[in-house]
Amino acid sequence: MALPSKLSLELVTPDRALAHEAVDEVQLPGVDGYIGVLPGHTPLLALLGVGQMWYRRGTEKTFLSVAGGTVEVLPDRVIVLSLTAERAEDIDIMRAEAARKRAEQALVKSARIEDVELARIALLRAISRLNTASKARTRG
């Protein structure tokens, strides 16, 4: 059986579909580390972590910030079901910076371990959004 030359990428959140296209490569954050996917990848189910995702068509990369969900990888397809996802160019930097500051304050003030963990995740999301937004501003 011949290896596929492209991957069909599907990226959806509870609110909307963000991608439905043929791509050459995908990289996304799993809970245990980043996962790189090329056509012909071994089937895989994984939990999606918090971080930066990108996919490539030719030499063009599209960057997104994602947080939580699942990913299914097949030799010719990647299906990402994310709790939240934003394209780099859609991220409001001022809002992301305010969220980062709130999360840092919550980490300092939190007494219960559950609150600390929620603040830590909020901080990771804010940092991921800021890092991803910077990718949109540095291209061109």
Reference 132, options 19, 27, 11, 2; nearest CA is 27
| Per-residue model confidence as pLDDT tens for the chain (140 residues) | 688 999 999 999 999 999 999 999 999 999 999 999 999 999 999 999 999 999 999 999 999 999 999 999 999 999 999 999 999 999 889 999 999 999 999 888 877 888 888 888 888 899 999 989 988 766 54
Highest CATH level, class, for 91-138: mainly alpha
pLDDT for res 114: 86
Looking at the DSSP bridge assignments, the partners of residue 27 are: 36, 54
Question: Which segments of the chain belong to CATH 1.20.5?
Answer: 91-138
Residues with Cβ within 8 Å of residue 40, at least 6 apart in sequence:
3, 4, 75, 76
Q: Give the global pTM.
A: 0.84
Q: Which fold has domain 7-89?
A: ATP Synthase; domain 1 (2.60.15)
Question: Which segments of the chain belong to CATH 2.60.15.10?
Answer: 7-89
Reference 19, options 35, 28, 8, 27; nearest CA is 8
- Give the sign of the dihedral formed by CA 63, CA 103, CA 29, CA 16: negative
